[in-house]
Amino acid sequence: MLKRVDIVGNPNVGVFTLATDDLAIVPYNLLDEKAEIIKETLEVDVVKASISGSSLIGSLAVANSNGMVVSPHVLDREVKQFEDLGIDVATIPGRYTALGNIIAANDKGAIVSPFLSEEAINIIENTLDVNVEATSMVGSDIIGSLIQVTNKGFLISSQAVKSEIKFAQEVFGVEGDIGTVGRGIALVGACSIANSNGAIVAKDSTGPEMARVEEALGFLDDDF
């Protein structure tokens, strides 16, 4: 299912929420009716939580079906909540806390910003159980904000070139394409959430943008 909805009052739905094929994690202050939209669209259970005491869950963590990597400032009670849900949680050392902005991952691979340390990359590889490649893309280090990726496809900033699209296909093991959401926003990772079942994009997304999202994330063969 593909929906354009005002979830958090601004286009940055991916900054506040995090989704995998198993679960969606949303802020405590998200309205129940909005949480229900996420549940229905992505076909997963929704859990309300925080990370480092913050509602910026999508910015402070990255997860796939194998585990979750989080800001080093995560609270013990937050880690316990995730572990009680059966999630393998690891903190990433260093001064970079906005992991969702600098890591894009599915169950097959991850692309991360090149300034992450070798130790950090090893933790990401072990926790998410994926091969990790570190590089800049479209002249930027905010990889997670530039890419929305699932186990069926990926949408990457409209500024990406063919070689970058091919590289992402090799790392993630799925096909993908360029695009925007929210009437021309190239930060598609920050302004959407998605899994193999569906996606939610910024409310102002146009029809052509929606069509590109549907194609890039591999939903065209689905019976909606």
pLDDT digits (tens, 9 = 90+) for 135-162: 999 999 999 999 999 999 999 999 999 9
Q: Mapping DSSP to helix (H, G, I), strand (E, B) and coil, where does residue 43 land?
A: coil
**What residues are paired with 63 via a beta bridge?**
68
In this prediction the pTM is 0.95
Residue pointed to by tokens 């069926």: 152
pLDDT tens, position by position, 7-28 = 999 999 999 999 999 999 999 9
Q: Which tokens sit at 6? A: 């005002």
Taking the CA atoms of 58, 174, 45 and 122 in sequence, report the sign of the dihedral they define. Answer: negative
Q: Which tokens sit at 218? A: 């591999």
Q: Which tokens sit at 108? A: 């097959």
Query: By the 8 A CB rule, do 104 and 144 touch?
Result: yes
Query: By the 8 A CB rule, do 2 and 43 touch?
Result: no
Taking the CA atoms of 159, 70, 1 and 39 in sequence, report the sign of the dihedral they define. Answer: negative
pLDDT of residue 94: 87
